[in-house]
Structure 1
Amino acid sequence: MLRKHTYYLAAGGIVVLLIIGGLISEKKDAKEQTAPRDYPEIMEAGALNAVTEYNAISYHVDKDTIDGFDYELLNAFAEEKKLKLSVTPEMSFEERLEGIVKGKYDILATGTVVTTQFKDSLLFTKHILLSKQVLVQRKKEEGKDSLYINSQLELGHKTLHIIEGSPGLLRIHNLINEIADTIYIRQVKDYGPEQLLAMVSAGDIDYAVCDENIASASLAAFPNLDISKDIGFTQFYAWGVNKHSPVLLDTLNNWLERYMKTDKYKKLYKKYFN
């Protein structure tokens, strides 16, 4: 069991490795906020605190540098506004959301599904990405085809593993109603999406639900996986800020509107979503 646990941590490049390497010291500079800040307070302090997820798209280590679509996009914003950027990688969606609500972080800078459920807690920026939730399973194997899911209707009485608190949970519950059958849901607290992919690949679990962009970016490491079956439809993904930070939201939206038309952004997008 210990060996498996170690394997999954290594497979996803857990943030502990970053700490050992001394690569996230800038993230630890962020001080706890007693209340949410809006853009004037952020500019006065000269520092921007953001939270993201450690995965192949948002934020990860590439050799001796920190990389990621959301991380690089944040850096471009902070550089233009002359703000010191502090980014905290947090695996738990609920912890990320709580950090925004309590003012610990200014921006939730990882692709988050725009739903009415989360609009009660967040102000969403203009959409940055399009993605959807997909079923992660192993490819068909000789003598094991009974495990392979060909359509959503075959998910009845199957167990789907998903990150605890993930926005994808709402989609699974809707799917249960759509197929009029029971789907068992097991929420995983200690691992991120890439660890779930590793667990399916190794045969420790049979099915997981993951964001398509993250799953696609990780497939090279797990060639025996299949992510061709959709769990949900394509949805808008955006960043989020506290509901008491409307000026920050407007500033981000105005900047994104301009920056997403530039060659720099097109090059950045192609780097991660080619």
Structure 2
Amino acid sequence: MLLGIAGLFVALFTGLMLQLKLQRTAQQRRLEDELRLPDTLRVVTLSGATTFFTYKDEPMGYQYELVRLFAQEQGLPMELFVAHHMDEAVSLVRSGKADLCITPHAVTRSSKDELRFAGPEELSGLVLVQRRRAAGTDSTHYIRNVSELLGRPVTVLRGTRAADRIRHLEAQLGGPIKLALIDSDTTNSEDLIDQVATHKIDYTIIDQELARLAKTYYPNIDVSLEVGFKQRLRWFTSPERRGLAEALDRWAAQLPRLEQASEIYRRYFELNKSELPEEEPHQLPKTLTDNKRYRWRGELAHIHEGGISPFDHIFQSEAKRIGWPWQLLASIAYQESNFKPSIVGWSGARGLMGIMPRTGRIYGASPEQLLDPQVSVRVAVDCLLATERIFKSIPAGDDRLRITLAAYNAGPAHLEDVLRLSAKYRKGGHDWDEDIEPLLHLKSEAKYYNDPVCRAGYLRGKGVARYVDQVMSRYQLYKSKGTKIPEEGKRHGLD
């Protein structure tokens, strides 16, 4: 009897110990899983000016380049998913289909209950966008503190944080601000910044990070006055991704000392990307050899005896392959590099014709070879020929030429998006002025770049349209100097 009870006790004790061991093993495995970095880092983001976009078919974006730096340092391959809205990104992370979201999310009490915030932290508020103080050139009052906004005209998007902030300021300051509300269906924050820079409106209020980026495109704006409380913004993962979160936090603590991270910040938020003329064009000499230097849209250009640049012979030779006037290639070169063959742009575009390294490799040129003018123009013409073939369904003429130039600047995928938007919203029209240019502008609005027909995401389309306009205007200037346009060029609408 006693032996039977003892045996039962031993069996129960053994079973209990086994169960506890299994539980500890399971807990240990869960802990190891939580602490283990993923084999492949699956990243989700929203497309946008500071998060992720493609430019000349290269993936870019401040947040994207930061997470790519993290993945490289950890030795992790990376997969990228682009979500249409933040709820979708949160769902992908919570479900385990993505490991990390790099579109900064506000750190709030409620969001901390379901997400694990990690990595770089930003403090971003709202700032006033106004033109810089410039003696004698602008009569608009320069705002030094928020109390001076009383009675001033401020234009913002309806239903935004900026609109709410102005109403709060009116209550705090005890007076009215001349608030102009614009529907976001027709205008976005980047449009309002452009309108301030070009003197169409006097003031707007936008998010600080976008303002810092915008200042690199518009050197004449001032974004120094903060008008709202700063918000904590961070990347996020799921609470179960403890090891990833801790690795991100350790890495983020080192960011201020990482030279590569500083260079990424400098390229996006400090290097000048201005597209606007600093002054009106000067009167040009009657012939290209009357003077050695002139200004075009504020740019100092050098005129060489008998032509436009030291590279005219290259343009003339390569233009025969595409049937374009050589002056059009010269205009592209000036737009891309100011005729500086060794230049490397903020985006990584290299050489006389602004070729991206990935494009160069496709056409058999290394990054170093792209700094050779002969190679640069050859690759540019190869690229233009390939781009023209993509849009061969559009009749030859001015519209196809401008679409080709836009695709050369932005990448063909964005122009294919624009044509699909045109098919959806404009009955498939491809008229540059009526269809393509307006839709290019809309490619910076989430409503349109997140449209199901779009595949390439966000594009700063206003800059692309301006690029085409400046290339064509300069080409007309070069043509006006009396150089004969070949018959092939006339067939492209270049009379």
Q: Does the TM-score normalized on the shorter chain lie above 0.5?
A: yes
Answering whether residue 156 of structure 2 is matched by residue 161 of structure 1, we say yes
Q: CA deviation at 1:135?
A: 0.8
Q: How does 1:46-65 map to 2 (within 5 A)?
A: 46-55=40-49, 57-65=50-58
Structure 1 match to 2:64? 71
Say which SS state the counterpart of residue 128 (structure 1) adopts. Answer: strand
Out of 82, 90, 105, the position equivalent to 1:88 is 82
Out of 165, 187, 208, the position equivalent to 1:212 is 208
Give distance in 2, aligned partners of 1:270 and 1:143.
30
Residues 146 and 260 of structure 1: CA distance in aligned 2, closer, same or farther (over 3 Å): closer
Q: Is the 1:161–1:188 contact (alpha carbons within 8 Å) kept by the matching residues of 2? A: no
Q: Which residue identity lines up with residue 43 of structure 1 in the other structure?
A: P
Say which SS state the counterpart of residue 231 (structure 1) adopts. Answer: coil
Out of 20, 43, 52, the position equivalent to 2:38 is 43
Structure 2 match to 1:9? none
Give distance in 1, aligned partners of 2:200 and 2:231.
30
Q: How does 1:191-202 map to 2 (within 5 A)?
A: 193-202=189-198
Q: Which residue identity lines up with residue 99 of structure 1 in the other structure?
A: E
Give distance in 2, aligned partners of 1:163 and 1:109.
27
Identify which of structures 1 and 2 has the higher relative contact order when contacts are C-alpha pairs closer than 8 Å and 6+ apart. Answer: 1
Out of 242, 252, 255, the position equivalent to 2:251 is 255
Say which SS state the counterpart of residue 38 (structure 2) adopts. Answer: helix
Residues 69 and 264 of structure 1: CA distance in aligned 2, closer, same or farther (over 3 Å): same
Q: CA deviation at 1:233?
A: 5.0
Q: CA deviation at 1:51?
A: 0.7
Out of 116, 127, 131, the position equivalent to 1:134 is 127
Report the structure number with the largest CA radius of gyration: 2
Residues 69 and 188 of structure 1: CA distance in aligned 2, closer, same or farther (over 3 Å): same
Q: Is the 2:157–2:188 contact (alpha carbons within 8 Å) kept by the matching residues of 1? A: no
Q: CA deviation at 1:161?
A: 1.5
Q: Is the 1:100–1:106 contact (alpha carbons within 8 Å) kept by the matching residues of 2? A: no
Answering whether residue 102 of structure 2 is matched by residue 109 of structure 1, we say yes
Out of 136, 146, 163, the position equivalent to 1:152 is 146
Structure 1 match to 2:224? 228
Post-superposition CA distance 1:176-233 (Å, at most 9, x none): 5432445656573676543331233345554322233432332243344332322135
Give distance in 1, aligned partners of 2:167 and 2:34.
37
Q: Which residue identity lines up with residue 75 of structure 1 in the other structure?
A: R
Q: Is the 1:103–1:242 contact (alpha carbons within 8 Å) kept by the matching residues of 2? A: no
Give distance in 1, aligned partners of 2:182 and 2:116.
29
Give distance in 2, aligned partners of 1:99 and 1:72.
22
Identity of aligned residues (%): 24
Q: Is the 1:49–1:86 contact (alpha carbons within 8 Å) kept by the matching residues of 2? A: yes
Answering whether residue 163 of structure 2 is matched by residue 179 of structure 1, we say no
Residues 250 and 193 of structure 1: CA distance in aligned 2, closer, same or farther (over 3 Å): farther
Q: Is the 1:48–1:86 contact (alpha carbons within 8 Å) kept by the matching residues of 2? A: yes
Structure 1 match to 2:264? 268
Q: Is the 1:163–1:193 contact (alpha carbons within 8 Å) kept by the matching residues of 2? A: no
Residues 206 and 75 of structure 1: CA distance in aligned 2, closer, same or farther (over 3 Å): same
Give distance in 2, aligned partners of 1:66 and 1:170.
35
RMSD (Å) for aligned C-alpha atoms? 4.2
Q: Is the 1:159–1:186 contact (alpha carbons within 8 Å) kept by the matching residues of 2? A: no
Equivalent residues, number = 229
Q: Which moved more, 1:254-263 or 1:139-148?
A: 139-148
Q: Is the 1:137–1:227 contact (alpha carbons within 8 Å) kept by the matching residues of 2? A: yes
TM-score (norm 2): 0.37
Post-superposition CA distance 1:52-110 (Å, at most 9, x none): 4421x4334454523332111111233325233214275xxxx22x1233226543324
Q: Which residue identity lines up with residue 227 of structure 2 in the other structure?
A: I
Q: Which moved more, 1:67-76 or 1:108-117?
A: 108-117
Residues 251 and 181 of structure 1: CA distance in aligned 2, closer, same or farther (over 3 Å): farther
Q: Is the 1:50–1:108 contact (alpha carbons within 8 Å) kept by the matching residues of 2? A: yes
Answering whether residue 150 of structure 2 is matched by residue 188 of structure 1, we say no
Structure 2 match to 1:11? none
Q: Is the 1:59–1:68 contact (alpha carbons within 8 Å) kept by the matching residues of 2? A: yes
Consecutive unaligned residues in structure 2, runs of 5 or more: 1-32, 271-495
Give distance in 1, aligned partners of 2:126 and 2:78.
34
Q: CA deviation at 1:164?
A: 5.9
Give distance in 2, aligned partners of 1:117 and 1:174.
24
Say which SS state the counterpart of residue 100 (structure 1) adopts. Answer: helix
Q: CA deviation at 1:43?
A: 2.6
Give distance in 1, aligned partners of 2:192 and 2:103.
18
Residues 195 and 250 of structure 1: CA distance in aligned 2, closer, same or farther (over 3 Å): farther
Q: Is the 1:43–1:83 contact (alpha carbons within 8 Å) kept by the matching residues of 2? A: no
Give distance in 1, aligned partners of 2:59 and 2:199.
30
